[in-house]
Amino acid sequence: MPEGATRRRAPGMGAEQRRAMIVAAALPLVAEYGSAVTTSQIARAAGIGEATIFRVFPDKEAVLDACVAEAVNPDHVLRELASIPPEEPLAARLVQAADAMRAHLERMGAVVGTLHASGHRRDQPGSGRPAPDSRDASTEAIHGAVTELVEPDRAALRLAPEKVAAIFLGMLFAQLRPACDGVRLPPEELVDVLLHGALDEPGSTR
């Protein structure tokens, strides 16, 4: 280094980046341990000191709230849906959409369900529960994204793309309910039933 030169330090991570990094590390732990997870475990997973957590979160409950908010946030799945090539066959597009949606719903269910079972109630103040209008906006955004995936095949469909999208999402949501344990369809089968029905040949029964 030339004489008199000063060493330039890389800019530190901002508070929002640090929060996001901590939440990303905490999510799988919260899905496994629920509210029993410790900030020490989270710090080890994030590769930081435990005190660093409390520089951006006031307490552990705030970390749990942020994990719930991230788990229900649809932005990631919306990006995945938007990245599906529209020129692919409709069945292939919907299989990819089913995979993306299932990953989103399963992560959301794991985080929220484990927290609820371990005593972190989402109906309590400060529990990270999204407001009804936020949930409605999320559902509407996902429905719109799936509708766009179906839209190129509008002329070949008996139902409008928005109705096909609603049925598709309804089938996915229904399969995550406890009553459907053991009968979950692979994405390919679910899409086949959606597009072609359950009969071997249309009209074969009365």
List pLDDT tens digits, range 127-177. Answer: 445 555 667 888 999 999 999 999 999 999 999 999 999 999 999 988 876
List pLDDT tens digits, range 190-202. Answer: 999 999 998 877 6
Quote the mean pLDDT of the chain: 86
pLDDT of residue 116: 87
**Secondary structure class of 49 (helix, strand, coil):** coil
Cα–Cα distances in Å, from 138 out to 49, 73, 74, 133? 35, 8, 6, 9
**At 117, is the pLDDT very low, low, confident or very high (cuts 50, 70, 90)?**
confident
**At 1, is the pLDDT very low, low, confident or very high (cuts 50, 70, 90)?**
very low
Mean pLDDT on 27-38: 95
- Please name the residues in contact with 87: beta carbons below 8 A apart, sequence gap of 6 or more: none
**DSSP character at residue 155:** G
Q: What is the pTM of this model?
A: 0.77
**At 25, is the pLDDT very low, low, confident or very high (cuts 50, 70, 90)?**
very high
List pLDDT tens digits, range 63-78. Answer: 999 999 999 999 999 9
Is the distance from CB of 175 to CB of 98 less than 8 angstroms?
Answer: no
**Secondary structure class of 9 (helix, strand, coil):** coil
Q: What would the two tokens of residue 4 be?
A: 């008199």
What domains sit in the chain, N to C, each tagged with a CATH number? 69-196 (1.10.357)
Instruction: For residue 153, give the amino acid letter.
Output: D
| Nearest CA among 76, 90, 81 for reference residue 155 | 90
**At 5, is the pLDDT very low, low, confident or very high (cuts 50, 70, 90)?**
very low
Q: Is the dihedral of CA 121, 125, 130, 132 positive or negative?
A: positive
